[in-house]
Amino acid sequence: MTDPGFGVYVHWPFCLAKCPYCDFNSHVRERVDHDRWRTALVAEVDHRATLAPGRTVTSVFFGGGTPSLMEPATVGAVLDRIALRWPVAAGVEVTLEANPTSVEAGRFAGYRAAGVNRVSLGIQALNDADLKALGRAHSAAEAEGAIRLAHRHFDRVSFDLIYARPDQTVAAWEGELRRALDLAAGHLSLYQLTIEEGTRFHTLHERGELVVPDEDVAGDLYEATQAMLEAAGLPAYEISNHARPGEESRHNLVYWRYGDYAGVGPGAHGRHTGSDGGKFATRAHRAPEIWLERVARHGHGLHESEAVDAGARRAEFLMMGLRLAEGVPLDRFPAEAGASMEAAIDRAALDRLVAGGFLAVADGRLRATAEGRQRLNGVLRMLLA
Ligand SMILES: C[S@@+](CC[C@H](N)C(=O)[O-])C[C@H]1O[C@@H](n2cnc3c(N)ncnc32)[C@H](O)[C@@H]1O
Ligand code: SF4
């Protein structure tokens, strides 16, 4: 039940406009040479297959940026190449992130014909004033139209909302969540707004021109979110992700269960377990043009590939796994944390966190409670000290 599987992440780095809160590897370009990009992404699939020969692909995720700006033929070419280079599991999950402004029926039909079977829409808010404040180009009506259109083409549809926005009240957010639940299928991603360095929001925040809810209000918003979604049958399976049981994003579970994945495209990360049991990390050049040029010249755009040392591996294993409601299986500690749980983490810190109601050990697993997941950074600081 908790086999992580093996995923392939494909990054499309272009957007129509840069949102003021976003620090993802996304860029605005006048023109994109789609043929060159198709050739380069396919070439990187060939390269990554040499790093993980024989793995069975259980999920593919087109993320961005705005992958719904990709030509369906490019999505199809990448998927065909993946199937040529690796065995692909029956029932593989293939997700594409889509922006409400760049989807129409023709594109959805094209993606579906190419093999996409799940879409994740970046809705962010369901009222026009907040969409404007978030710098989004779509209206609430367009967002709803995009969700409905997605349901017509795909059995599995998720969408993202951002909360803890400036001036947001719990009552307003609950109203919006009710609307979201009416529109949702089996999965919703609900992210608390973070002010990321290097973004326009960061500059405004520093100047005191953008005020976000304080910790107490943010905590209330988080708790209201957990309660409503749980009552609706979509409990949190991860800090920000909610699903009807069985509808979890299998691709994201690969990351959180600390499985291996290949990262294709600019800035994409990968994790691979070598034949000696050691893990290594790959990272591609972030800048789209540099990545493209490197792929043309060397057949891949990798910036670096390095061993994940024992300390980093233990930290990654816990940082990923404790995000999940299911937590981490104790029997994976020897391989991922170098020793049994008792030997790998500080006993006094563990006891304090369990007594405080932040962690629990039961049924062969260590997991963070809802309280613990809300304060995961602090919990991890204590555990990993
Ligand atoms: C890589 S983005 C891609 C989504 C798609 N391009 C879109 O904007 O519609 C994935 C999601 O991350 C979330 N996100 C991005 N920046 C964020 C921030 N600063 N705080 C909270 N959530 C954020 C948004 O909900 C977004 O939909
Ligand atoms: S939120 Fe989405 S559309 Fe906006 S800049 Fe980031 S990746 Fe692009």
- Tell me if the domain spanning 6-255 has CATH number 3.20.20.70: yes
- What contacts 289, CB < 8 A, 6 or more positions away? none
Name the residue with the closest Cα to ligand 2, atom 6. Answer: 22
Q: How far is the CA of 335 from the centre of ligand 2 (A)?
A: 37
Measure the CA–CA gap between 218 and 348, rounded to whole angstroms: 30
Residue ranges with strand state E in 193-298: 236-238, 241-243, 260-264, 269-273, 279-284
**What are the tens digits of pLDDT across the range 6-47?**
999 999 999 999 999 999 999 999 999 999 999 999 999 999
Q: From edge to edge, which strands make up the β-sheet containing 365-368?
A: 328-329, 365-368, 359-362
Name the residue with the closest Cα to ligand 1, atom 15. Answer: 22
Quote the DSSP letter at residue 210: S
**What are the tens digits of pLDDT across the range 270-286?**
999 998 999 999 999 99
Its sign, for the CA torsion 226, 228, 230, 236, is negative
What's the pLDDT score for residue 156?
98
CATH C-level class of 311-384:
mainly alpha
Q: How far is the CA of 198 from the centre of ligand 1 (A)?
A: 15
State the average pLDDT for the chain.
96
Q: Residue written as tokens 């957990």?
A: 226
- What contacts 4, CB < 8 A, 6 or more positions away? 253, 254, 257, 258, 259, 260
Q: How far is the CA of 369 from the centre of ligand 1 (A)?
A: 25
Q: How far is the CA of 160 from the centre of ligand 2 (A)?
A: 12
- Closest ligand 1 atom to residue 194 Cα is 20
- For residue 190, give the nearest of 214, 215, 217, 226 by alpha carbon: 226
Mean pLDDT on 214-223: 95
Q: Does the CB atom of residue 19 touch ligand 2 within 6 A? A: yes
Say yes or no to pLDDT of 125 above 70: yes
- Closest ligand 2 atom to residue 64 Cα is 7
Same fold, 6-255 and 311-384: no
Q: Give the start-to-end residue ranges of the domains of the chain.
A: 6-255, 311-384
Residue ranges with strand state E in 130-230: 156-163, 187-192
**What are the tens digits of pLDDT across the range 64-101?**
999 999 999 999 999 999 999 999 999 999 999 999 98
Name the residue with the closest Cα to ligand 1, atom 27. Answer: 122
